[in-house]
A and B are shown apart, each in its own frame.
Chain A
Amino acid sequence: MADQQRCARCGAPLQPHHGDGESCPRCLLALGLSTGLGSRDPTPAASPAGGGLAGFPDQLGELRILDCLGVGEAGTVYLAEQAPPAQGKVALKVVRTGLDAAEVLDRFEAEHEALTHITHPGIAKMLQTGTTEDGRAYFVMEWIRGVPITEYCDRERLTTHRRLALFVEVCEALHRAHEVGVVHRNIKPSNVLVVEEDGKPHPKVLDLGIARALDQRLTAESLYSARSLLSGTPCYVPPELMDPSGLPPEADARSDVYSLGVLLFELLVGTPPFDARRLRQAGWAEMVRVIREEEPAPPGRRVRGLGGVAATEVALQRGTEPRRLALELQGDLDAIVLATLLKDPSRRYSSVLDLATDVRRHLRHEPVSVRTLGLGARLRRFLRRS
């Protein structure tokens, strides 16, 4: 795989007969996604420098803007090129209008200060911040040429075991940030990208500290917007941050544990614990109720409930058959996932490290902390290990 030709833009492998002048099929198909977003998007894409054509600016300070990578609920992300001598491509996130740039950057400063003290291969570097001429905050970040972790795992048809190993790496990166007091608050597949280095996959966590800087209030307005619904974000929001009675409390590490649990659920089963379409259609109040009150089905049961075509498809993407997949999930993995998704933060894993440790134990066939094991199960584990 290492010497395979890849798209210079998205990193997807190209077929051997792919012609030099041809476009990458993945990039072409992705045009359908941005169209879908654009047509229901209430505000046009940000144009930081102004004067850009067709919503597509040319330049921001020293940065030459090459392309629009996506429009999210917080703003627009561009691919840009640094001026010499730095050179190299970077991701530029321009915050949408309506937020005070000075406030955003003030809030980010504390986080950034903490983050500069750590370098972790699993965390995308923040390079620079600033304000556009029209008063919007922007962030310049390391450009990660990767794909969302869920997409990567499905594309590569990774087994449950390999998915878990990648997930542990995500936890380790986040734990490093938690150690210096930075909580992510916006963990979702599009913020955890996987890149291949030397033929091996490595997850990279994006946008650390940004959610807090934007002070993304989890209100009807911000969460129930067309954009966040399309990107499926509400599924990842912890129940304690969806307090309908007023301003939600400050997020802590256990909020990230919850969102990681949703990610783990999706990696294992192919869909988040709560049906995205149902949440989309439910209306704000009902959405809050589901996330705050409904107990999700354990992953194993979810797979069994899929039935025929859908179950076979999910299992195929994990290199197995539906029945075997359900067996793999029931027991430890069900228990681990459910322990991350508990409504009361104080009953969840208290740290991302504890969660990672349990997943690692499961991978080594050792007892996991969230399960009180019967003698039979312990014996089976002991025999398997010895």
Chain B
Amino acid sequence: MAAFDTTNWSVIVRAAADDSATAREALAALFEVYWYPVYAMVRRYGHNATDAEDLAQAYFARLIEKGWVKEVRPEHGRFRSFLLVSVRNFLHNERDRERAVKRGGRTRAISLDGAAAEQRYALEPVESSTPETIFERAWANEVLSRALERLRNETAKTEGADRFERLKGHLTGDEPAETYRELAEAWDVGESAVRVALHRMRKRLGTILREEIADTVADPADVGEELRHLLTTVGQ
């Protein structure tokens, strides 16, 4: 995604003032990427699966209609914070589901996979989480899984699919030395080559993570801070 500047939050924030079609399309693309956290939050607020999907569509329709994006000031320029707060406000003001549906819930402005979202939601530790913590954690996991997916595709292209699959469990380090030996034997290379490959993969994941996050903040200088925030939210 990082390659397409149009799906970048900073571009959207700048373009939103003109309410251009480009801005709307870009917003739709970014919302589709990060809609699961919204879905999970809405579900945790007590709406059933169908309503949650409808409300997400309705929220998005309103976002476009009302030009809410324009309210984002540069100092609050993170897509995550913006969505969290504006979806909450939307839900508070939109208690009546019928009203939500009438206002655009059935228009299906964007394509969302409700069934897949519900499958994921079934795994959330719902009892111990508030709607906001579910949203935050799902967001961080979304960023991470997108980054891992990119790393998987890249590694498959350059070094074969096996490389990623067998090294992914060691990306965080702290593994027993035996594992390196096993891998070295399997690939018929030296143990040091395995460590170097792993080191490269770790560095690359770090870079990809920062690129993904850069797409969701208005100012590239905020990437580090946003990353720190995501760190606090995973595993809540």
Where the two chains meet, the residues of A that have a C-beta atom closer than 8 Å to any C-beta of B are 7-9, 12-17, 21-36, 38-39, 53-56, 66-68, 79, 147, 151-152, 154-157, 230, 277, 280, 307-310, 312-313, 316
Closest B residue to A17 using CB positions:
B123
B213 touches A32 (CB 8 A): yes
B221 touches A308 (CB 8 A): no
Tell me the chain B residues, 45-84 only, with Cβ under 8 Å from chain A.
71-73, 75-76, 81-82, 84
Q: Please report the number of residue pairs spanning A and B whose Cβ atoms sit closer than 8 angstroms.
A: 138
| A23-B234 contact given A31-B206, A310-B75, CB 8 Å threshold | no
Number of chain B interface residues as a range: 35 or more
> Smallest Cβ distance from A67 to chain B, in angstroms?
4
Where the two chains meet, the residues of B that have a C-beta atom closer than 8 Å to any C-beta of A are 71-73, 75-76, 81-82, 84-86, 88, 123, 125, 130, 132-133, 140-141, 143-144, 148, 168-174, 192, 195-196, 199-200, 202-203, 205-207, 209-210, 213, 221, 223-224, 227-236
B141 touches A34 (CB 8 A): no
Residues of chain A within 8 A (CB-CB) of B172 are 9, 23-24, 27-28, 31
> Smallest Cβ distance from B227 to chain A, in angstroms?
5
B81 touches A313 (CB 8 A): yes
B144 touches A36 (CB 8 A): no
Closest B residue to A151 using CB positions:
B232
Residue of B81, B84, B141, B196 near A25 (CB, 8 A) is B141
Residues of chain B within 8 A (CB-CB) of A30 are 231
| A36-B206 contact given A26-B231, A26-B234, A230-B224, CB 8 Å threshold | yes
| A29-B234 contact given A38-B203, A56-B199, A277-B221, CB 8 Å threshold | yes
Given contacts A12-B235, A26-B234, 20 further A-B contacts (CB under 8 A): A9-B173, A9-B174, A23-B172, A25-B235, A28-B172, A31-B172, A32-B206, A32-B209, A33-B224, A35-B203, A35-B209, A35-B210, A36-B224, A54-B200, A67-B173, A154-B229, A155-B233, A307-B76, A312-B85, A316-B84
Residues of chain A within 8 A (CB-CB) of B76 are 307-310
A53 touches B195 (CB 8 A): yes
A309 touches B174 (CB 8 A): no
Closest B residue to A64 using CB positions:
B177
Q: Give 5 closest A-B pairs by Cβ, nearest first.
A: A35-B206, A32-B209, A12-B235, A27-B172, A54-B199
Give Cα A220–Cα B50 distance, bound, in whole angstroms.
59
Give Cα A8–Cα B175 distance, bound, in whole angstroms.
11
| A29-B171 contact given A35-B206, A35-B207, A316-B132, CB 8 Å threshold | no
> Smallest Cβ distance from A49 to chain B, in angstroms?
14
B209 touches A13 (CB 8 A): no
Residues of chain B within 8 A (CB-CB) of A155 are 232-233, 235-236
> Smallest Cβ distance from A103 to chain B, in angstroms?
33
